[in-house]
Chain A
Amino acid sequence: MLRLVNGAQTVGNGWPFWMSFLAVLAGALVYPMFADSYDVGNFAYFLIWVFMAMGLCLMWGYCGMLSFGQTFFFGIAGYSYGVLAIVLGGGTMTVLALVLAVVLAGLSALVLGYFMIWGRVGGVFFGIVTLSATLVLAFFLGQTAGPEWAIGEARLNGFNGMKGMDPLNIPWFDDETLYFEGASLYYLAIALIVVVYLGLRILLNSRFGNVIVAIREDPQRAELLGYDVRKYQLITFIVGSSLAGLSGVLYTSWGQFITPGSIGLPAAAMPIVWVAFSGRGDITATLVGSFLILYAFQTITVYSQQAALVLMGGMLLATVMIAPQGFVIGIARTIGRLFRGRGAGNATSSNTGS
């Protein structure tokens, strides 16, 4: 198992890293037993966004595609979940709504990605086209206030957003229903993050991961080694965008509402800041960094939303000017070097293979 999740594409491949990982996971699992339920709910909210950040890290950091469209797929899946949860009658059908909503986000990525990648849209234009799609969706949803904008019982409600969908829930013991809210949503998010994080590490350290990194470095050389670059880019785009879709579903389920505001320009810029600041070149840095930024952002927002936005802008500027590879990954690499320095005496091999 460790051979699959470790490799050249990820920082943290030795036992100190995995011991730390288990310690953090154990801490996260016992946290709700000691913390205030309000704080647990807040933490669940932060964790919901991490999928979107990891998806962007995969596309941008590993494959070189800067997508401004994470909130586009977030919105597609979030609204789809809302509509499906209402149309399917709620209750335990919300699980089916979750699956279908994420699949719809993936299909949207397939269509948009196909036209962009096969149409040779690359570099900065990739960001411009995805941002355009995001803005179009946000503006479209903003003008759906009228009663004609409804799918079955599900009203889209324009800028006010749609509401009234059930949160995710599953049948539980003694004919009870388990609603994923508060601590249960927190545990669901933790479980999904562990699965997605380990899954992405396996993917990144596989042959597939080697190829997408090669595409980031030099797409022409990658093609001249016999790889159909377009297919690898499209698959990466679908996986990364579907993760944004998963965030969208969990967000809608968490608050039982979704508005166009969670798709538009300020929202679309946020994942870029999280991933850039954390370090787009590593999935662990993105996971940890995004969570910390979200925590800091909300803590400051309590006092002043404007101050929090200024902080985000400042962090992006600082990243570009001081640490273009990202702050969290820089710190992680420094710690890694310290560990390697200590263990240099008995280290006989480095883990750079895949």
Chain B
Amino acid sequence: MAELLQTTALSKTFGGLAAVSGVDLSVTEGEIHCLIGPNGAGKSTLFKLIIGTYPPTAGHIKFRGENVTEERPYQRVKRGMSIKMQTPSVFKELPVRQNLHIALQHHVTKAELAREEERLLTLLDLAADAAKPAGVLSHGQQQWLEIGMALALKPKLMLMDEPTAGMSPEETFRTGELIQQLNGLGMTILVVEHDMAFVRQIAQRVTVLHFGKVFARGSIKEILADERVAEIYLGKTHEHL
């Protein structure tokens, strides 16, 4: 399988602090790749570098073979990235259906709009709330709506920053199932996560960050068996992972 996303020697410093330092990361087409690490490991900073919110201090990012290091977020989105932020980022004053409409309108024809809206509303279990302002939905529903907006772009690569933050265990499990379902349809997914139960549910390959550097990488089985990861991750034995 071809490499979809590749970062080379990617670094970001804030003043004297190296939040991300020389990270080489590659995400292969068709996989679910999880980026994990303890608090302060640089996961969110790396995520923001990949989506273009932060400019890197050094290194470069390739997406589908093109250097996108200097591009703004909307340009990367147009190339096929789609992004789910950590806190629900939806248009709260607008109805749920209009949220999806805005996400869809530049990617599907007018004739397909209503059908796609319905498909997503059903997929996200939000059909009954379609006319409600997005701001009145529960936290978990807002997370799902944002996932739906990201899906509306029909991305090549879905980037998710802690997609289950604030969700109940049941919602978390359903989100894991949804991610696996999307992956089954051929979508590549990169997830930043610290909930190891969730990572175990979905991950195929894992990259572990520690102090802004790549500490370990491998299959989920390899990572779970790695004593060093267990120690740096929670400072505990690997049974806790």
Chain A residues within 8 Å of B, Cβ to Cβ: 8, 207, 210-211, 213-214, 217-218, 220-229, 350, 352-354
Contact = CB atoms under 8 A, between A and B. Distances in A.
20 contacts: A8-B94, A210-B101, A210-B102, A211-B102, A217-B92, A218-B89, A220-B53, A221-B85, A221-B89, A221-B91, A221-B146, A224-B89, A225-B77, A225-B149, A225-B153, A226-B107, A228-B72, A229-B74, A354-B98, A354-B101
Interface in B65-96: 72-74, 77-78, 82-83, 85, 89-95
A225 B102 contact: yes
Nearest to A231: B74
A252 to B, nearest CB: 38
Q: Please classify the interface of chain A as helix (H, G, I), strand (E, B), loop, or mixed, using the class held by over half of its residues.
A: helix
B103 interface: yes
A217 B95 CA distance: 12
A211 B102 CA distance: 7
B74 A226 contact: yes
Contact of B103 (A8, A218, A225, A228): A225
Contacts of A225: 74, 77, 102-103, 149, 153
Interface string B137-149: 0000000001001
B73 A224 contact: yes
A354 B97 CA distance: 11
B131 A221 contact: no
Given A210-B105, A225-B149, A226-B74, A217 B91 contact: yes
B106 interface: yes
A223 B106 contact: no
A189 B36 CA distance: 63
Contact of A226 (B77, B93, B131): B77
Contact of A224 (B85, B114, B131): B85
A233 to B, nearest CB: 13
- What 4 A-B pairs are tightest by C-beta distance, nearest first? A217-B91, A226-B77, A221-B89, A224-B83
Given A207-B105, A207-B106, A218-B90, A227 B98 contact: no
B61 interface: no
Contact of A352 (B72, B74, B97, B106): B97
Interface residues of B, number: 31
B106 A214 contact: no
A352 B98 contact: yes
Nearest to B110: A207
A214 B89 contact: no
Contacts of B102: 210-211, 213-214, 222, 225
Given A226-B153, A229-B74, A220 B89 contact: yes
Given A210-B98, A354-B101, A227 B74 contact: yes
B215 to A, nearest CB: 29
A65 B78 CA distance: 26
Nearest to B106: A226
Interface in B10-66: 51, 53
A223 B131 contact: no
Interface in B128-165: 131, 146, 149-150, 153
Contacts of B53: 220
Contacts of B93: 217
Nearest to B78: A226
B72 A217 contact: no
B162 to A, nearest CB: 16
A86 B51 CA distance: 55
A221 B107 CA distance: 16
Contacts of A221: 85, 89-91, 146, 149
Contacts of A224: 51, 73-74, 77, 82-83, 85, 89, 150
A210 B97 CA distance: 12
Contacts of A220: 53, 85, 89
B109 to A, nearest CB: 12
A293 to B, nearest CB: 25
